[in-house]
């Protein structure tokens, strides 16, 4: 089951986010305050970001985060699938597919594209994304962190 995150999920979200960022699913960890800021933004509004709790048979199984941008190239709103973390015990049960389906089904008519990024060596995730209809882009994405 996928459901929107609520204030009562604060400690669960923070624990899962810490676990994800301590794993080899990401290139580097982030400061604790970033997890806190993310949760605060999720509670503030749905304008920029939305959070979800994934459950399996009544147990917390993971979380997902999305963010919204506007894209002229896409002709409207783009939902970035920012994070999807599923606890090891609940992997390969279809929760990833269920999460993507949930996001797509709940996207309004203004949403024109779903977008995500993954590590090149994460072939398991890339295989799922391809099966779900995602296409790999042929360019390098760049960032500049402003502190």
pLDDT at 120 over 90: no
Residue-level pLDDT at 97: 94
Q: Is the distance from CB of 74 to CB of 92 less than 8 angstroms?
A: no
CATH homologous superfamily for 2-117? Answer: Gcn5-related N-acetyltransferase (GNAT) (3.40.630.30)
Mean pLDDT, rounded, for 106-125: 91
The pLDDT of 59-67, averaged and rounded, is 98
Res 96 pLDDT > 90: yes
The candidate with the shortest Cα–Cα distance to 87, out of 106, 117, 59, 115, is 59
Q: What is the mean pLDDT of residues 8-17?
A: 98
Asked if the model's pLDDT at residue 24 lies above 90, the reply is no
Q: Which pLDDT score is estimated for 80?
A: 97
Average pLDDT over residues 57-75: 97
d(CA 107, CA 80) in angstroms, rounded, equals: 12
Q: 32: helix, coil or strand?
A: helix
């Amino acid at each position: 089951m996928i459901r929107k995150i609520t204030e009562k999920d604060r400690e669960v979200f923070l624990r899962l986010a810490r676990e994800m960022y301590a794993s080899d699913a990401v290139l580097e960890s982030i400061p604790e305050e970033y997890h806190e800021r993310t949760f605060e933004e999720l509670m503030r509004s749905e304008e920029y970001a939305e959070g979800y709790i994934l459950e399996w048979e009544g147990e917390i199984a993971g979380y997902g985060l999305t963010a919204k941008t506007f894209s002229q190239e896409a002709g409207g709103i783009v939902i970035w699938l920012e994070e999807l973390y599923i606890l090891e015990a609940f992997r390969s049960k279809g929760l990833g597919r269920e999460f993507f389906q949930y996001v797509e089904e709940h996207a309004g008519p203004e949403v024109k594209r779903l977008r995500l990024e993954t590590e090149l060596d994460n072939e398991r995730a890339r295989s799922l994304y391809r099966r779900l209809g995602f296409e790999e882009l042929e360019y390098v994405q760049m960032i500049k962190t402003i502190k």
